[in-house]
Structure 1
Amino acid sequence: MSQKKYSTKLFYKYYLDWIHIYKDNAVRQVTLDKYYLVQKCLKELAPDLHMNELNRRNYQQILNLYARNHEKTTTLDFHHHLKASLFDAVDDGLLKSDPTRRAIIKGCSPSEKKIKYLNLFDLQKLLRSLDLNSELNWDWFFLLIAKTGLRFAEALALTKEDFDFEKQRIIINKSWNYKEKIGHFQPTKNESSNRTVMVDWQLMQQFQSLIRSKEDDQLIFFDKNQRVYNSTLNQKLATYCEKLDIPIISIHGLRHTHASLLLYEGVSIASVAKRLGHSNTTTTQETYIHIIRELENKDNDKVLHHLSQLG
Structure 2
Amino acid sequence: MAFFRKRGNKWEYRISYVDRRSGTTKETSKGGFKTKKEAQIAATEAESKINHFGFSENGNEKIDHYFQKWLETYKKPNVKPITYSLQERNVRLNILPRWRNYRLKDITRTEYQQWINELRDHYSEGTVRRIHSIMSAALTDAVFEFNIFRENPIQKIKIPKDNQNTSKVPYFSKTELGTFLTTVKEPVKNAKYNKSIQYYVLFNLMARTGIRIDEALALRWDDLDEAKKSLTINKTLVYPLNSSPYVSTPKSKQSDRTIKVDNTTMKLLKQQQTNREEIHYLYKNYRRSQDNLIFYQHDGRWLRTNVVRDYFKEICKRANLPVLSPHALRHTHAVHLLEAGVQIKYVSERLGHANMNVTADTYLHVTEKIEDDALSLYENYLQDS
Indicate yes or no: 2:295 matched with 1:221. Answer: yes
SS of the residue 2:266 aligns to: helix
Deviations, residues 94-145 of structure 1 (Å, cap 9, x unaligned): 4545555432224899xx9998211122223434555399975321111111
Calculate the TM-score normalised by the size of structure 2. 0.61
Show the 5 A alignment for 1:191-230: 191-192=252-253, 193-208=255-270, 210-211=272-273, 217-223=291-297, 225-226=300-301, 228-230=303-305
Check conservation: 1:170, 1:199, Cα contact below 8 A.
yes
Q: 5 Å matches for 1:16-95?
A: 16-24=68-76, 26=79, 27-28=81-82, 29-41=85-97, 43-44=99-100, 47-50=102-105, 58-71=108-121, 73=125, 74-88=127-141, 92=145, 94=147
Q: Tell me how far apart the structure 2 counterparts of residues 245 and 301 of structure 1 sit (CA, whole Å).
A: 35
Normalising by structure 1, what TM-score? 0.73
More strand by share: 2
* Conserved? CA contact 1:238–1:248, under 8 Å: yes
How far apart in 2 are the matches of 1:116 and 1:82? Answer: 28
Could you tell me which runs of 5 or more consecutive residues in structure 1 were left unpaired when the two chains were aligned: none
Aligned residues: 301
- SS of residue in 1 equivalent to 2:96: helix
State the alpha-carbon separation in 1 of the partners of residues 314 and 92 from structure 2: 35
The aligned residue for residue 260 of structure 1 is 335
Query: 2: CA distance between counterparts of 1:60 and 1:271?
Result: 45
Please tell me the residue identity of whatever aligns with 1:150. I
Question: Following the alignment from structure 2 to structure 1, what is the Cα–Cα distance between the partners of residues 343 and 372?
Answer: 16
**Share of identical aligned residues, percent?**
25
Change (3 A) 1:137 1:183: farther
Q: Name the CA distance, whole Å, in 1 between partners of 2:97 and 2:289.
A: 47
Q: Distance in 1 between matches of 2:293 and 2:201?
A: 14
The equivalent residue for 2:224 is 163
- List gaps (5 residues or longer) in structure 2: 1-16, 21-53, 188-194, 278-287
The answer to which of 75-84 and 271-280 deviates more is 271-280
Kindly state the Cα deviation for residue 32 of structure 1 after the two structures are TM-superposed. 2.7
Q: Deviations over 1:71-102 (max 9, x none)?
A: 36143332222233345455559454555543
Amino acid at match of 1:48: R
Q: Kindly state the Cα deviation for residue 152 of structure 1 after the two structures are TM-superposed.
A: 1.8
Q: Distance in 2 between matches of 1:264 and 1:177?
A: 32
1:107 and 1:68 map into 2 onto residues whose CA distance is 13
Q: Which has the larger radius of gyration?
A: 2
Cα gap change, 1:15 to 1:231, in 2 (>3 Å): closer
User: Offset at 1:160?
Assistant: 0.9
Give the CA deviation at 1:220. 2.1
Deviation at 1:174, TM superposition (A): 2.2
Please provide the CA RMSD for this pair: 4.3
Q: Report the 3-state secondary structure (helix = DSSP H, G, I; strand = E; otherwise coil) of the residue aligned with 1:68.
A: helix
Q: Residue 105 of structure 1 aligns to a residue in which SS?
A: coil
